[in-house]
Structure 1
């Protein structure tokens, strides 16, 4: 089974995340997409980041109606700070029959050469890159690499930062969420 790993704080998860994940699952050779919820970094101040399990619950609620989109809390159990290479090694040991790939925005690909052991990641894993809004095409040293796959996914201009700010301002942003996530957010008074 080929699994795409979509890492993020998902603070909160919104329809933009789901649209990208669903598009990649539908239009690539990946069988499933796992939303890997990244834990709160203990060395950073908390700011507006919700508790790990509250964010995981939102991902669970958001993906429950999608057979091939799954929440994943694997990094909650790993030493912090968690590096992608360590997560990949751990997942490969736990699921030896799965083939894991990374999903990232093209802005992350631009800085990929700075990641810990990026050469090892690229040697052992494919990377599926979705577009971001930009005034210019972002060129990277990896553009012609055989394991980099650019996916022509819809460009999403919704951000979790914008959503948190809008909630704080009392704006109605209900359409930006799956119904279950909106109800949970609203009941819990998150980000207000």
Structure 2
């Protein structure tokens, strides 16, 4: 189950959400979608756009990171908020694994910002527009990746706490009573 949810999350779900993150602000700003390529398990997903306004471009670039951040956070929060005793481990994995995959995809931002991609950096234009070229802009450029590290740490900590809470205590289970009509 973990392997299947990981494969589907990495090669089907994440590329689709990432590209939709680029498309949503583009379409909302009036851009034309010339081509949308999404081939699960093979190929490179991408969107070809025209008529993207200059003011929308930072949001179009950053959307590929921001939408997976939102979706991943929502899935991890749903996993955290889910009931412990009444929920099966299987469906809970289908919340947690895709959520973590969505977030882990953002760790590439550290590489984009530090190694310095000369061709493209997802958060660069938005960070530069909001925070300038200095420290604030640089911090904003890696903010989704920092958020990812924080969410991963929270999920691990709560996962460990939950696993301890669900371990058998050695005490006998109380009898189950039912009313049958």
Which category of TM-score, normalised to the shorter sequence, fits these structures?
A: under 0.3
Answer 1 or 2: which has greater helix percent.
Answer: 2
- Provide TM-score, normalisation by structure 2: 0.21
- Provide TM-score, normalisation by structure 1: 0.20
Higher Rg: 2
Answer 1 or 2: which has greater strand percent.
Answer: 1
